[in-house]
Amino acid sequence: MKIGTILFTWHRSGHTQRVLDALKKNDILPEQLYIFQDGINEKTNVEEWHKVNQIINNIDFCETQIHVSENNKGCAKSIVSGINYVLKECDAVIVIEDDCVPDYQFMRFMVSALETYEDVEKVYSVSGYQWDVILSTRKTDDAYFNGRSCSYGWGTWRKKWAIYEENYNILNEIKKDSAAKERLRVWGNDLETMLTGNVQGDCDAWDVFWTLNIIKKGGYCLSSYRPLIRNIGFDGSGLHCGFNICMQGETENYNAGHVEKFCFPQEIMCTKECEEEFLFLFGGKSAREKTKFYRELLIRWIRMKQKGDVIVLPKEMTGDVAIWGKGELLNLLLEELNDKINAVCIIESRPRALEYEGIPIVTIDKLADNIKNIIVIPYFDIEIIGLRVKKMRPDIKLFGINEIIY
């Protein structure tokens, strides 16, 4: 099987250099490295663009094939067209972007996985990225199956990539099939927001179609238990990653530990625990349903305040509390709790700031031991949130915000 390794880059010279330095240290080097540099537009840092161009033209650790676009294609078009091009020459691809720094065993993991599942019909994608999930079911394998593709250091095969289609009607098609609709609920209800962002011009995502097509097909994706890829793009330098405070530690200065031979699962299936973890990350209610719940609760709260009513806290809610979630309802809640109880922190799954209105923002694993109660603003997903909290802090009690508004 001929495997082509692809690097997509644009105008971030520091990021590109880190990726190439790490790739050079891999114990298996690319047979041929295909590099696609997107062209210049009004958003391009031209000086940085030329630095990147110089860097990719000075690669000496493997054979390269460099493609520099005369025009700026944008992220989605650049990546899709690049993959299509390479898969005309190769049987499979390994895809890296300029902010995805590989561990020194990343290439060996990817090559082994692509060779192992080449002829397994239901496996569509493999990735060296470590999802933020807590799985207690790991035994001897170095990877596990889930239903969510990952665009950080991933790979696929020509015959599997053939299902890729930019179909804006795909959500409707999925929702007409009860099994596919359930898969969407578990592996990616957030994708509807991404798809809408594409339509409105707020984002330029290609991977939303890849993931939705896999969900529609009932396919499986292989993910590494170990962090074989680190995304260093959450520093505000990219167009799509933005800034994420909890991802700032993800640099190239790490070592996932040496493995003599990677072991992959023989049974193609997802565990119940895995489904629950991904439901926490990406599932639950759809964006449209969440908006409806929030709007109705906000209207109810405003009417209550107009009548002079106040919120009533459960008797067992004493001492310091944490609040899960943000938004306008958080502002109202903080105002109401001001003289009733001490809200010491705000919990978010992926914090983009260290604090809000002077209150620290933390992840659930950083919650202080003395906190025993959490008020959950996204109360419609309280069961999903509860599964994660129970793993981390079984001593904590959750209260939906709807429970304290009368």
Q: Could you tell me the domains of the chain?
A: 3-282 (3.90.550.10), 287-403 (3.40.50.720)
What pLDDT does residue 148 have?
96
Whose CA is closest to 9, among 34, 30, 41, 42?
34
- pLDDT band of residue 238 (cuts 50, 70, 90) is low
**For residue 314, is pLDDT > 90?**
no
Write the Ramachandran bin of 90: left for phi over 0, alpha for psi from -120 to 50, otherwise beta: beta
Residue 296, φ and ψ in degrees, nearest 5: -65, -40
- pLDDT band of residue 340 (cuts 50, 70, 90) is confident
Structure tokens at 14: 């520091």
For the ranges 56-70, 133-147, 194-208, 248-262, which has the lowest average pLDDT? 248-262
- pLDDT band of residue 255 (cuts 50, 70, 90) is low
What pLDDT does residue 234 have?
63
Dihedral angle at the C-alpha atoms of 343, 344, 348, 349, nearest 10 degrees?
-130
**For residue 366, is pLDDT > 70?**
yes
Query: pLDDT (tens digit, 9 = 90+) per residue, 76-110?
Result: 999 999 999 999 999 999 999 999 999 999 999 99
In angstroms, the CA 301 to CA 187 distance is 32
User: DSSP secondary-structure letter at 235?
Assistant: B
What pLDDT does residue 197 have?
83
Percent of the chain with pLDDT over 90: 67
C-alpha pair distances (Å), 189 with each of 19, 279, 284, 288: 31, 9, 7, 10
**For residue 29, is pLDDT > 50?**
yes
What pLDDT does residue 240 have?
47
In angstroms, the CA 281 to CA 211 distance is 15
Three-state DSSP class for residue 110: helix
- pLDDT band of residue 328 (cuts 50, 70, 90) is confident
Higher pLDDT, 309 or 82: 82
**For residue 309, is pLDDT > 80?**
no
What pLDDT does residue 338 have?
78
What pLDDT does residue 198 have?
82
Q: To which H or E segment does residue 155 belong?
A: strand 154-157
CB 63 within 8 A of CB 94: no
In angstroms, the CA 384 to CA 365 distance is 16
Query: pLDDT (tens digit, 9 = 90+) per residue, 30-64?
Result: 999 999 999 999 999 999 999 999 999 999 999 99
For the ranges 170-174, 289-293, 337-341, 395-399, which has the lowest average pLDDT? 337-341
Q: Where are the extended beta strands (E) located within 10-133? A: 33-37, 64-68, 92-97, 100-102, 123-127
What pLDDT does residue 196 have?
84
Query: pLDDT (tens digit, 9 = 90+) per residue, 114-161?
Result: 999 999 999 999 999 999 898 987 778 999 999 999 999 999 999 999
What pLDDT does residue 248 have?
44
Higher pLDDT, 389 or 336: 389
**For residue 405, is pLDDT > 80?**
no
Overall average pLDDT of the 14-18 stretch? 97
Tell me the pLDDT of the chain averaged across its residues: 89
The label of the residue with tokens 């991977």 reads 207
In angstroms, the CA 131 to CA 277 distance is 10
**For residue 300, is pLDDT > 60?**
yes
**For residue 318, is pLDDT > 90?**
no
**For residue 224, is pLDDT > 80?**
yes
What pLDDT does residue 251 have?
42
- pLDDT band of residue 189 (cuts 50, 70, 90) is confident
What pLDDT does residue 144 have?
96
Overall average pLDDT of the 367-395 stretch? 92
